[in-house]
Structure 1
Amino acid sequence: MIQPVKIFVIIASILLLSACAPKLPLAPAIDETVQIPTIVTPPLEEISAPDLVAQRQQALATQNWGRYLDTTEILLVIATPEQQHSLLLDTYAQLDQINPSFWQQAQTSRHQAWHSLAITHQLPISFQLAWLEDSGKLFHDHPATQQLVSLLSETKHAPKQQRIAILLPFDSRTQPLSNQIRAGILAAYWQTAQQDQLLFFNLEDYTNPIEAYEATQQAGADWVIGPFDRNTIEALSRVANDRLIFLNSAPNASNAWQLQFGTPDSLQQLIYHIGKQDYRNLAVLYADQPNHQQQISKLEEKWLTTPQNRIIPLSFEQNQRNLRDELGRALQSDQSQVRANFLQRTLANNLTFFPRHRGDLDALLLLGEREYLANIQPQLDFFQVNIPVYAMDTLMPTEFRPGLAEPDLKNIRFLSYSAVMSPELISSPLAALGWDSFLITQYHQALLDGLSLNGATGQLRHHEKGLINRQLALVRFNARGQLITDDTQPNIWPFANYTGQPAPMHPREREQRQRELLELITQPNF
């Protein structure tokens, strides 16, 4: 009886508690006729890098260039820096294969940025870096362009160490010439950061030129400078390549670089400078010699092609003792003397007289050697020949010295190597030739791409047959005989600091490096 009583008490307690609790509103009944909407989302595909790489390769295989570039940019976001470099370089290499029609239809700025990068492949190597930099500025908000421009700029600016062999003769006849050429090479080398290695070879140490050349190759030379004598050049012509710089013409080695001392078209260059001044009547004062007669013939071929141009030849005997009388006859001043004598006899009175030369001259061209021309100018002063005077490159000094003054050559304009204006760097024309030979090893690609190069011998250009064409500088001696650049001449100074990079070492270290290098000249050690 106890168990039923307990159960009754518990139930009664629960009922009493329920009666005391607050009453809550009942929930509304659910209308089963209304459907509750449900949002269904498709399962997301898991995108992984291998999938993107496969998609990119598939786009490349099918030439779906838009998808190829877009997938590349997605990969660049998730790739590591090392992977980005590899991906960028690979994509850059493929840009050259994209059909031009795709670029023409490209509408997005991203694809236009890639197109700008693709154009780089169509440019000569020397122009590519400047184009890349311009592309980076134009598409500054395109990350891939910024990364690739930075990467390629570092690659193109990275200096490459070269081994340059200097192969010159040093017998009793050629040693003075080779010493000057070598001095010019060293002067140019010391203007650089000195990362290249110079190797010196004496042709006299070998039985024949081929053996000497093979020694340079065994030493790992990337470039060979020299020789300059024609017999050795002829012997080396059969092994010559585009890493050999002959210091003379080499008709049988068109694939080699040929930097000769003389300038074959110097007369034509001088005619060009004279013609720019609109001169028509050109007097040519020359000694009656066969070589000068040949120059007169060439001058007539060039000068007389322009209508209204005229040449007035003034020849004289070079061996005559009285040069003033000979010049007076050439300038027809003697006829002025005849007229003065006639008037004195007719008037029976002494007259104040000074000879007058012919007045139909616009400019005067002097043909002759340097020593001879120094004797002519004082005589021209005597006759008061106040017209522009020009001379050939034979007037170029054989030694470049600071403070050079030659009053006997005052007011004469002539063609010369550019280095004549920088004697503190280069001491002679042969040294200037050596300087420019080293310059070719540094800037050969620019020359191959058709650019000109301001060198120590003049403005250089590469000819298709390997010859280096040279534009000489027009200089003159002023009224005090000091050498200056002619007013009509453009800037010829940049050759002096062509590298744009100072040598990264202390002056004491630089001097030590020079001493070590000079020791290698006589005792090469590989």
Structure 2
Amino acid sequence: MSFYFLSRVLPFSFLPAGRAQSKTALKSLAVALTSASLLHGCSSPQPQAEKTAPEAVKPEQPKVEISAVKPPELLVSIDPELERQKAFENRDWPAYLQFSYDLWQESPPARQAEIEDQAWQALLPLDDMTLQQLDDNSDPRINAWSHLIQVFRLQGLPFEHALSDLQLFETDAIYRSHLLPKLLSQLPPEEEVRNIAVFLPMQSKFKPVAEQIQNGILKAYYRNENLNRKLRLNFYDSTDITQVSSLYFQAKQEGADVIIGPLRKNAVEQLQGFDDRNIVALNTIDGITSFTQFSLKSSDKIQQLAEGFAQQQYRMLGILNSDEKENALNAALLASVWNQPPQQSLVQVSYSEQKPELRKAFDQLVNASNSIERKNTLRWTVGEKLEFYPRVREDLNAIVVFDSANRLAVINPQKGLYLLETPVYTATELNQQNLKALKNNHDLKEVELLTQPVTLNPEDLQGTFEAFGWDSLQVAANLPKLKKGACLSNTKTGYLRIVDNQVQQTLVWAKFDDKGQLTPYRLPHITPQLTLEEKMETESDAEDALQQRLQDELKSGDMEGVSP
């Protein structure tokens, strides 16, 4: 071991030399060995690592967070009554209604009713702008009151509709508990019609007309269960004009709620000074009256025709009419209305009522007669028979015929001879002869008709005056609702409503199908096509609007990642 240690410590080799050198070397080696032995014996052994027991793992102590202690909030007592009064004095209506709601929640019923009444009286005088501000508030405690005030400022039928919506949607408003029932109880009760008196001249030259009107009234009465169950009818003879006023007082004494009639103009004039809104006169007179006037011809069919053609973007009309007074007048009125806008035009052909040459008149309207004349000229020139088919005008958007249904059935098939697809319209007068001709007439296929509802649903009514009598009873029975703005659609002479004490009729559209049966019809609504200039202008406006919107968004910083 010692040697190994020295060989590692003194790494040199022994080389042969002289004897003296050998002796000296041996001595040196002996000294070195001795020293090494002494050193080895004296040196302490290399310390070894002590084995120690593993330290015990102490459990992790929970962290304790220390935060500052907040002082308790000071509770401030608010008196809703006092704050409500301050808001009222400052005209701060949103705050006033909020404190009213809070106070209402804590109050007994009697005090609740008082709070509702006070809020109503405070808000009722507000102007429309202030009410609109309340209406725009998102808090239902506030905007519900605006709705209430606005509803009770309405009149007539709009009030009834709005009141129904109010009761349906404002279910949480506090005024529903006491105020709204109180307001409803103060409304005047709706008039109810029970007894109707009818004034007709049954002994004069108007007797045939009066009898037809009476028949129409009775048919409406007996075929409508609601009417015959609640109404009582009394008929009075108003032949003697001097006794019309006396008849009026007699009917009132006998319990008449509404009076239908009289029929003749001079008889209606006898009641002109009477301040009674519950009269439905069967004629119109000059001057203002407090009662309703209902004329058999209160519809404006010419204006309705023109509006229907304009709705379909028509530009060129062809009018065909007889020279009979009524037909000629209707044609002239339509021509006058249609020629007003400069972009609309028409061509008109009339024929004799006594000797109507219907085919010739139609050929003239579509320029077929000119084509025939040119053919005849060529045939005479060349002296030979020519193969010929007339060339007709194709610029007409519609052909309007003013004549009877029987003659219309002769005119309409002429389209087929010239392969025309131009629609044919009419607004024929309603009478027994026309009603019969309009039934399942194959020659009238595709004709469009502006007419009275009785044409589609006759109910065995025999002509115009019976339909007029039917509607007069409908108007009288529903007079309170019509006065409020309602419209009657279950009628025979047109859809009915009252404007400025005049009954206005709106006619209905019908069309004959391919089998010649008349069916209800709705006119198409054509959107006008823009010209190239209008399109370019519209596109330019849209581009300008887009540029402006982008600039606004850049200024407001709404567009991320984009800088102006």
| 2:494 match | 458
Cα distance change on mapping 1:294 and 1:88 into 2, 3 Å? farther
Q: Is the 8 A contact 1:189 1:438 kept in 2?
A: no
What is the CA–CA distance in structure 1 between the aligned matches of 2:513 and 2:115, rounded to whole Å?
59
Q: 1:167 aligns with which of 171, 175, 199?
A: 199
Cα distance change on mapping 1:489 and 1:71 into 2, 3 Å? same
What is the CA–CA distance in structure 2 between the aligned matches of 1:358 and 1:333, rounded to whole Å?
8
**Count of aligned positions:** 429
Deviations 1:310-364 (A, max 9, x none): 1111123343365434443444323322333344456665444343433332211
The yes-or-no answer on 1:145 pairing with 2:176 is yes
Q: 1:376 aligns with which of 405, 408, 411?
A: 411
SS in 1 for 2:272: helix
Q: CA RMSD in A?
A: 4.5
The yes-or-no answer on 1:125 pairing with 2:153 is no
| 1:210 match | 245
Which structure has more RCO (C-alpha within 8 Å, separation ≥ 6)? 1
SS in 2 for 1:194: helix
For residue 281 of structure 1, report the CA deviation from its aligned partner: 1.4
Deviations 1:54-97 (A, max 9, x none): xxxxxx9xx99969977995899546xxx99x989978985774
Return the index of the structure with the highest Cα Rg: 2
What is the CA–CA distance in structure 1 between the aligned matches of 2:466 and 2:293, rounded to whole Å?
16
Q: 1:304 aligns with which of 339, 361, 370?
A: 339
Q: 1:223 aligns with which of 258, 263, 275?
A: 258
Q: Is the 8 A contact 1:224 1:245 kept in 2?
A: yes
What is the CA–CA distance in structure 1 between the aligned matches of 2:380 and 2:241, rounded to whole Å?
80
Q: Is the 8 A contact 2:209 2:465 kept in 1?
A: no
Q: Is the 8 A contact 2:199 2:259 kept in 1?
A: yes
What is the CA–CA distance in structure 1 between the aligned matches of 2:431 and 2:231, rounded to whole Å?
32
For residue 307 of structure 1, report the CA deviation from its aligned partner: 2.7
| 2:215 match | 180
Cα distance change on mapping 1:441 and 1:148 into 2, 3 Å? farther
Deviations 1:193-219 (A, max 9, x none): 833443333335997211211111111
> Gapped runs of 5+ residues in structure 2?
1-80, 82-87, 526-564
Q: Is the 8 A contact 1:477 1:483 kept in 2?
A: yes
For residue 383 of structure 1, report the CA deviation from its aligned partner: 4.9
Q: 1:199 aligns with which of 225, 230, 234?
A: 234
Q: Is the 8 A contact 2:423 2:447 kept in 1?
A: yes
What is the CA–CA distance in structure 2 between the aligned matches of 1:209 and 1:432, rounded to whole Å?
25
Task: Please identify, of 328-337 and 414-423, the stretch whose mean Cα deviation from structure 2 is larger.
Answer: 328-337
SS in 1 for 2:313: coil
The one-letter code sitting in structure 1 at the alignment partner of 2:172 is: D
User: Structure 2 length normalisation: TM-score?
Assistant: 0.63
Cα distance change on mapping 1:329 and 1:126 into 2, 3 Å? closer
Deviations 1:342-397 (A, max 9, x none): 44456665444343433332211112344443443345554554311111242676
| 1:116 match | 147
Task: Please identify, of 284-293 and 228-237, the stretch whose mean Cα deviation from structure 2 is larger.
Answer: 284-293
SS in 2 for 1:313: strand
User: Structure 1 length normalisation: TM-score?
Assistant: 0.67
| 1:367 match | 402
> Gapped runs of 5+ residues in structure 1?
1-51, 53-59, 491-526
Give the 5 Å matches for 1:405-416: 405-416=440-451
The yes-or-no answer on 1:392 pairing with 2:427 is yes
| 2:301 match | 266
Deviations 1:115-147 (A, max 9, x none): 322222211231223323333444322354266
| 2:368 match | 333
What is the CA–CA distance in structure 1 between the aligned matches of 2:154 and 2:313, rounded to whole Å?
39
What is the CA–CA distance in structure 2 between the aligned matches of 1:114 and 1:431, rounded to whole Å?
51
SS in 2 for 1:241: coil
Q: Is the 8 A contact 1:234 1:252 kept in 2?
A: no
Cα distance change on mapping 1:138 and 1:161 into 2, 3 Å? closer
The one-letter code sitting in structure 1 at the alignment partner of 2:452 is: Y
Deviations 1:17-67 (A, max 9, x none): xxxxxxxxxxxxxxxxxxxxxxxxxxxxxxxxxxx9xxxxxxx9xx99969
Q: Is the 8 A contact 2:284 2:295 kept in 1?
A: yes
Task: Please identify, of 68-77 and 167-176, the stretch whose mean Cα deviation from structure 2 is larger.
Answer: 68-77
SS in 2 for 1:227: coil
Give the 5 Å matches for 1:3-82: 77-78=108-109
The percentage of counterpart residues that share the same residue type is 24
